[in-house]
Structure 1
Amino acid sequence: MPLLVRDYTWDQTETQIFITVPLKGVRAGKADIFCTEDYLKVNFPPFLFEVVLFASIDESKSSAKVGNGVIIFTLYKKESGMWEQLPTVEVSKEKLQKKRENAILAAQNKAQEAATEKAIKKRGNEKYSLEKMMKIEEDNRKQIEEMKEQERRNATKELEEWKLQKHEEEELKRKEELKRKEELKIARHKIEAEKRRMKKEDNKIQNIGSRRPNRHSVNRGTTGNIFAENSKEQIIPSPRSAGNIQIHFTPRVFPTALRESLVDEEEEWLRKQAEARRAENANIANLKDLKEEEKNPDWLKDKGNKLFASGDYLAATNAYNLGIQLNNKLPVLYLNRAACHLKLRNLHKAIEDSSTALDLLTPAVPDNASSRLKAHIRRGAAFCELELYVEGLQDYEAALKIDPSNKTIQEDAEKIRHVIQGTPPDL
């Protein structure tokens, strides 16, 4: 049976109540303190202190200090004024029990309301966080869309500039050809005129030589020889006739059937590859400390491939970096560096290198189909790692257009579709 504590003391002001309850051996965390607006209870076995207050208090502001065998309560009155006594008039055990139950029930309701309010606040915070994350993802998606749109605009601009340059070159060639034909025509006219003039002179000489000679002249034996010598001096061989030499080059044959071939695109791809090879030595003069083999982008590519195969992705990236510094027109260097960035979790750099490789792998021809397939797969994987599944699915679908029979790509694309739709994949 608990021991009721009655030797407490209390004091008050207009707004506060101070209660001192001595409990032998009481320590913080050992005493069970329960307080409502009109009920106060302390349970520290075997001691029990409870009191029904004279008036209401604000339990949210009230406090208790426990230590040195005593508990000091500081209670704030709801209404200012002096109390006639601390407890209310003596009540029966039944009323005290009822008051205790009501206080406990009120405390439970209040705790439940506080928990409900806390849960609502938590859901509000989670909703706010989710909205913020969705906004960040939307901003990132818009930024990537803007980057892609800018890339498309740049590619279109470069293509238009190339078409304009090609048109100007063709126009210049046409003018040069017309000029050459005109000069050739003038030269032919001059040759024909010279031929006619020479023919007239030959006829004139022949007419003079065919006349019958004078007898005195024949006897002298000199006149006929003079005409013969003059005719020999006047006869000049006619110039050779002009002509054209036709040169036929053996055309490059692609494996694509002629009815399906895109000859212009294939020739453009070959031209870009030739320009890339010619640009290999453009920046070597600025890298004087390199060894001879380190000045070869192909050697650096093979070196990077070996480092990648051994798992040293950072060193492989450095090899590809130097190769790109020597020649920034080779798509395989960007493609291989994108694979390194995927391994190193540099996802944005992997997307950038894959996009650059795709820009260099234009126009799309059968010779670069394998490289374009790898570029789409690596960029799609980076998008999916960033949880940008819509963009990743677009790259996987582009890869399937290149190789529709690839089972692995088909399965990966189907998994991404399930993630986007929020449905579990078929087992």
Structure 2
Amino acid sequence: MPLHVTDYTWAQTESTVHISVPLKGAKAGGVDIVSTEEYLKVHFPPFLFEAFLFEPVDDDRSTAKVGNGVAVFTLPKKTRNVWEHLMITADDKETKREIRERALLKRQQKLSAESKQKAEKQQAEKKYALETMMKLEEEERDRIQKMKDAEREKTTAELAVWRLRQKQEAQQKQNHQIQQGGTTKTTGNRQTEIGKNKQGHRNSKKEKIQARPPPPRPPGNIRVTFTPRVFPTALRESRVSEEEEWLRRQAAARRAVSTEVEELQDLTEEERNPDWLKQKGDKCFANGDYVGAVNAYSLGIRLNRQIPALYSNRAACQLKLRNLHKAIEDSSKALDLLTPAAPANAAARVRASVRRGSAFCQLQLYAEGLQDYEAALQIDPHNETLREDARIIRNIIQGSSGHDET
């Protein structure tokens, strides 16, 4: 049986009722509140407070503040008058049971409506994100088509000029041959004899050269240099296999070539370079042009899908644009590409983990967000900013700070 709270206090004006219920050491997160026009319940096991109100109140404008060991309720009256009592004085259990059941049913309906509204809002956000992405892709296709058309017109003009030049050169050559025709006939025999003498002289010289052995090659020294270690840690302290795997994947990423051959042919030399596109995206991000930065990073990803910095930086843009699900997706892809863990990619893993954790927290998925912040702290344990952020998220999960409920 629950223990009923009797040491509550209440006060009223003609328009409002104020009720204070002591929580007896209970945390704010462990308090269950049900409020309707005619019923108020505060349950924090093993204690229970129930109030079958004397007259109806305006539930839509009612507020509750929970914190500092007390729950304070402000209930606007529907009718401006002074109540004789806070609760109805009748001891009819059947009437109270009906009031309680109506209150619980109304609460379930309200929670269902809120859940439906939240689902509709999420669906609207997804639809908006999809429409935005489709619009960006369409703009990108239009831009590429314009580049194709301009290049096609330029090539056609150059081809026409080249054909005209070839035609003019052929005409000039033909005219020159006609003018030189007579002279060639008179000197032809003499040129034939001179040519035979020169050919015989070359053959004789060639035979002499072939009979002579080649001179010996001069001696020399071969200089050998050793490739230095990429990672600064001592060999006995490093994880050689993980480091070599990371270097191999980075080299493969630099050699990767996109399969979209048609579009690559229409891009400029700079636009075919993912590193140049990354720098362009970084400049757009620094200038606040987050959509332009997303376009630059996206084109770089289409050219080479193995560079983790492109995904991680695009996740930062998606956070600014409030595309939280896309930020989580890009951060996760960056973390996949940043494996195996090595000292060279430690800073990049911290950034990707923090960006994904931030997106989770903005979606109110605090447990998932805390995991990413703690993973970042394991990589950079001396980062006080990360430590403070993790502490704040942990307090939110534990419900240690006071909060309002309507």
Greater length-normalized contact order (CA 8 Å, ≥ 6 residues apart): 2
TM range (shorter): 0.3 to 0.5
Rg comparison, structure with higher value: 1
TM-score, structure 1 length as denominator? Answer: 0.44
TM-score of the superposed pair, with normalisation by structure 2: 0.46
